[in-house]
Chains A and B, each alone.
Chain A
Amino acid sequence: MSAQVGHNLDVRRLESFLRSMVAIRAFEEEALAAQKEGLVKGAIHPSIGQEAVAVGVCGELRRDDVLLSTHRGHGHTLAKGADPFAMMAELMGRAPGTSQGKGGSMHIADFAVGMLGANGVVAANIGIAAGAAHAIRLLGGDRIVCCIFGDGAVNRGPFLEGLNWAAVYRLPVLFVCEDNGFAATTRTRELTAGEGPLARARALGIEGETVDGNDVLAVAEAARALVATVRGGAGPRFLHCLTYRLSGHTGADPATYRPAAEVEARWKDCPIARARTLLEGAGVARAELDALEAEARAAIAEVARAARAAPWPDPSLAWTDVQDLGAELRPEGSARG
């Protein structure tokens, strides 16, 4: 239970968080349904159960701040302000997609809102985030970079190299470890030595904290303080969010490697259920919350309907945006010669 119960709960703010979390949940459920129908051809990595991290952290960022995400990045991208229709169209490989259908779920990006990309390679975003922050240092200004990665990423080299880099140059990066307990289909703690992600960050001189990542208010409160510290020029900070991946590693993973009772208990503890409990405790009627959820879900359902009707990219697009010098030219005619 959140420490906020019984205090002055900001109902409007929590309702807004709930609306965003429900939109993310609905987006991923729509995507999974579309995948079952064969409309989403590639892999998707749902973040169902982890929505509080996306909403709590990204809500504290400015639009011109930079975000780097992972293969499990729909929630982060939506919370940073990307257009859900363009994202759903991208998942379906359609022309109005965020990347014109060239990237799919693992390469969702929306540079207009500072979202510089999900990434298909675990931990690869950490060094890129340090580079974005290095550029901000060179260019001036008070933008910051937020880099979200999973608990599996702490066992890859770029975690060490990227955190060391950000610390040595005192760069404006908030590192967020979204710890859902699983590295693909393995429990991360079984294959991770030492005291965990925050201890590793501290060993590199990066301060931070661990929060209950299913408590959206706790995440937001911690993120707000750390964002302010980073923006103030103190160098990088680290936020370790403990959450739980309710879905499988991908849409195709039934996740039978964990007991059903464990998953069932975690569903009751999911961030949406937690937020609703708090709001009901603060006197918000259940019907009002149901209406709020229904409205958020209806908006996403409409997005999914529109994406299904969106046009395919022209095949000639496969040949564009490779490089300026030495780009191969498409042979004459509609198909490859």
Chain B
Amino acid sequence: MIINPPEIRRKNGWICVASKIVTEQTEYDLPETLWFEYPEKYTNAVTDRSDAFVVGLTLTAMKLQEKLEVRGSVSPRLAFGLDEWRQVFNRWDPEVFSLIDVQYERLFPLDENRAGTAGAASFSGGVDSFYTVMQRFPSSGVLPEYGIQYALFVHGFDIPLSDEENYHLAAQGFEGALAPLGVELIPCRTNLHAFSAGLIPWGMAHGSALISAGMVLSGLIGKFFIPSSYKYNRLRPWGSSPLIDHLLCTELFQVIHDGASMGRLQKVKAISNWPPAQNNLRVCTNLKRRHGVENCSRCEKCLRTMTMLKVVGRIKEFKTFKQPYRDVDILRWAPVYELGGVGVPQLWPYAHEKKEYTVMPFLAVVYLTGLVRHWILKLIPRGLFGWLKEKFYPAGKDPFATRNLDPGDGC
């Protein structure tokens, strides 16, 4: 795989940084260009370095078992960290992530006078995102060097590029919630997800994707916060983790995995009294049923979050979920409950401590149903499981796949 030197262009009020990508493989339908777009006012913030592109595409090259040739400037610190980063992924899943050679044309750090120093966080409107913003907005009392002034909301990661309405509605809501806190929302569009769709699970690819979208703005951002997904004592192979995120720093762009000392329930509790989160929390993974910041209130993630808010006693204040959510509604979680995820084992002791006895029988039913479902799923042979997945959810149907991108998008 060859990453050509990125180019910067202006297009319809947007500034676009794009690099032509050449691959040897023919099996997968990958875009010919990787691009990132930001509103034109961030023209001075973007760089034409290859740092962000190598971060975003290394996993794809590893999956394709292609040597990576990077043209353009790359930070020596990043090149060093990427070496260890590749080895960690290879250790986690050697069948998917092969150890590949990476060849750099020019190892050179970004000029200090050109580098930004602002703090920014990746932001999707979920529990982790709101928790990080709540801890770090300028007047939150945080150490000024570790505060955030910007939140980066990327179109193309969990909202397909074709779904403009949903993205704009959500962005509008977030902008309104964050502006009074002194945090500016930076919209971003990218086709990076298409380079992993059907190739690598998004759970493994999303961390480097977020970092690459932030790294393009190295002229503005000096510290980039990635809200944590898992607590320190539950670390597992995952695309964004305190084990690996820091390896993708450059000399002047620090990546900080934030909030891993708190579990999901603790974060939900922390944000449950905070109006910006109450009015805009967006956790839904159902692409068809969610609308802007409105959640479907049916998918696993919605039901999990709603149940947590219910147990915490704050569900009524959260306007982005369908109301009312009664104790008996917890049973809706049962058919989709994921064993091993964040859920009943955390909620049960908390409910017991808070004497929320009315929800406990329902939690027990949810857990037991999940257990049975898990056993049944385990009985299905892996081959059959793969076949069923390919039949009912083929890679081509992936809304993030190349064939579903608008050829006129990007630059």
**Chains A and B are bound partners:** no
Which positions in A face B, CB cutoff 8 Å? none
Which positions in B face A, CB cutoff 8 Å? none
